[in-house]
Amino acid sequence: MSANDLDFERCYRAVATRDARFDGQFVTAVRTTGIYCRPSCPAITPKRANVTFLPTAAAAQQHGFRACRRCLPDAAPGSPLWNTRADLASRAMRLIGDGVIERGGVPALADALGYSQRQLTRVLTNELGAGPLALARAHRAHTARLLIQTTRLPMSDIAFAAGFASIRQFNDTVREVFAVSPTTLRDESRRRDGDTLPATNGLLTLRLPYREPLDKSWLEWFLSAHTVPGLELWENGVYTRSLRTPHGHTTIRLSIQPGHVRATLSLQDMRDLAPTVARVRHFLDLDADPIGIDEAMAAGMAGNAVHVGDPGDATALPAGIRVPGCLDGPELLLRTMIGQQISVAAANTHTARLVQSLGESIAGPIPHLFPTAETVAERGSEVLTGPGRRIDAIVGAAKALATGDLVLHSGRTAGDLRRDLLALDGVGPWTADYVSMRLLADPDVLLHSDLVVRRGAGLLDIDLADTARWSPWRSYLSMHLWKHALAHPSEANRRTLQ
């Protein structure tokens, strides 16, 4: 939803009804108070004549509005538009969330997207109401507020961790965005929530909100079924793993709770907070619009006599299904190639052997990081087992990643990424589609050649050659079919044999 496309009446109805579904999709700027809010803010609904709707918090800040300290608009789930759209602005927002500007400035962002800095700034300003620096500044303000309100870190450390160039810049930004000093922001939080902040020492516990409903059982099955010993741990509903981050590595512990995901992060470097949170949100698809997706699923299923989200119907498809993303692009590709044409359990075993032999050893509950592409390219053939052609394909993909011939990041277009993946030896359409779906959070990938998806389609009498009515949500259709087949294995096998 660009700055020019916001429908005033639709937005105002969302604000008048305090519809949380629209949190993160736009902000409400109130001219009489100089404050901007999320649509579900519990404050009295402002008069029509006094409001302006803007697509991002950065746009509101550019216009001189300050964030509401009651509804905390920066803490809303992210906009699902950054995934459903594939234009330049959306791809830029994904990379900004990953901290590209903090690490390399606007030139690094422009280079990753293949545009000039001038053209990138023009497009972002037109579409989102703010240029790349202003958008990155809004992200820094959000990170700063998180650290101010959830840790005992000194303000000087918070300024550094949030990506500010100086203490003065940090103080000025917090005052401008929240209309109070950093110290006052922390004092307000303590009075509201109690002075219960633990000592930090690099350990943070955060509540990552999502739009309900959410199919918890599906995400938990996916996490537990794909857990690789030595790299990941699934225990008592908590997923734990370590991953490389721009300034070191981070250990994450995730558990799905009503309305939020509890995330405990053990950070080597506090500067990695924002990109780690962005990756976790992408990994669990926390910014999806489940109501809109479920409505589209139900409309498409109408001719198949299948209900979506009806808790009283045991045969109904569940509400709020998510498409798992990824935490690291190169790891996703190599793990997917290892798992081609073998069971999930076998893939976990092969991957665990690779991790144990070539992964970097670290201290903590998870003993290894996934090996780098450079290491797999150099020594993968010594460790990987199975058909020689598959081993050569995996090592070849690692070499392409190591040399930069293949680049995997969330700012790529689906068409370009799929083309580059299919150019690799040993990568077919299923692998290219699966990696694109999870890396880019592409909502419209139908895994039509997947055996389990085909079994699910057979159970529900869905013709996989005729799925246009579910576009642009066919990735979610794939997950529904996948889950349905796994939930009815005997029936799926019987249908397959007929």
Query: Which residue in 129, 23, 2, 6 sits closest to 72, CA to CA?
Result: 23
Provide the angle, in degrees to the nearest 10, between the axes of the packed helices 344-358 and 373-383.
Answer: 110
Q: What is the rounded distance in angstroms from the CA atom of residue 162 to the CA atom of residue 153?
A: 12
Q: CB of 436 within 8 A of CB of 474?
A: no
Judge residue 168's burial from the number of C-beta atoms within 10 Å of its C-beta, 0-12 exposed, 13-18 middle, 19 or more buried: exposed
Q: Give 43's Cβ-side CA count (13 Å radius).
A: 18
Q: What is the rounded distance in angstroms from the CA atom of residue 390 to the CA atom of residue 352?
A: 17
Q: CB of 231 within 8 A of CB of 246?
A: no
Q: CB of 182 within 8 A of CB of 148?
A: yes
CB within 8 A of 110, min separation 6: which ones? 116, 117, 120
Judge residue 175's burial from the number of C-beta atoms within 10 Å of its C-beta, 0-12 exposed, 13-18 middle, 19 or more buried: middle
7 as an active site residue: the answer is: no
Q: What is the rounded distance in angstroms from the CA atom of residue 50 to the CA atom of residue 58?
A: 20
Strand, coil or helix: 393: helix
- The tokens for 367 are 């003993």
Q: What is the rounded distance in angstroms from the CA atom of residue 68 to the CA atom of residue 73?
A: 7
Q: In whole angstroms, how large is the CA radius of gyration of the chain?
A: 23
Strand partners, 368: 361
Phi-psi group of 293: left, alpha or beta (phi > 0 → left; psi -120 to 50 → alpha; rest → beta): alpha
Q: What is the rounded distance in angstroms from the CA atom of residue 318 to the CA atom of residue 479?
A: 11
Strand, coil or helix: 141: helix
Q: CB of 202 within 8 A of CB of 147?
A: no
Q: CB of 235 within 8 A of CB of 255?
A: no
310 as an active site residue: the answer is: no
List 37, 41, 71, 326, catalytic entry: 37
- The tokens for 51 are 């409001």
List the catalytic residues: 37, 450
